[in-house]
Amino acid sequence: MMLEGLVTTVAGALLATAGVLVGGVVTRRAQDQQWIRDQQLASYQDLFSHYAKFTMELRRAHGDERGWDYDWGEWSATLIRVSLVAPTEVAKEIDDFGRAINSFLDQVERGDRTPLRNPLSPEEFEAARQESVVAQVRLVNAIRRSLSGDSKGLPSGIGG
């Protein structure tokens, strides 16, 4: 009888300890997933904030036929930060988005089409921006899929 009680007590203690350890592992994993999700959201917000800022500044520069400046080091740092936390499918879309931005800048800031030398009309500016707009929508939809499983996605961009 005493042996049964001891076995029951030891078994209960071992099961309780195992439960605490498993609970700790599960809790830690959930905290890690929440941390990475928070980091992803912050980096995605930073990326789109920079994109909106330099696009609007460049649009105004063309409209006003004036020079403009942007901290491209911050843009590059933002791309690196976001690539550190983005899942593979999102990182691919970020790369495509970056390439579309470069193409856009080639059309509106480099070469003979600059705000000071040969400004674009609002219609020309929008036409030059279309590739980056499409890439932005693809990126936003990849982010939405990765964060929430939203398979439908947005049909078009918001803002800009």
Domain-located, residue 157: no
Mean per-residue pLDDT over the chain, rounded: 86
Q: Which comes out higher in pLDDT, residue 33 or 22? A: 33
Q: Distance between CA atoms of 67 and 126, rounded to whole angstroms?
A: 19
Range of the domain at 117: 41-148
Q: In one letter, which amino acid is 13? A: A
In the predicted structure, residue 31 carries a pLDDT above the cut 60: yes
Q: How many domains does the chain have?
A: 1
Domain-located, residue 60: yes
Gyration radius from the chain CA atoms: 25
Domain-located, residue 123: yes
Domain-located, residue 25: no
Domain-located, residue 19: no
Domain-located, residue 139: yes
Q: What is the pLDDT of residues 67-103, one digit of tens each?
A: 988 888 999 999 999 989 999 999 999 999 999 999 9
Residue 86 Ramachandran class (φ > 0 left, ψ -120 to 50 alpha, else beta): beta
Q: Which H, E and C letters describe 120-158, residue by residue?
A: CCHHHHHHHHHHHHHHHHHHHHHHHHHHHCCCCCCCCCC
Global confidence as pTM: 0.77
Domain-located, residue 30: no
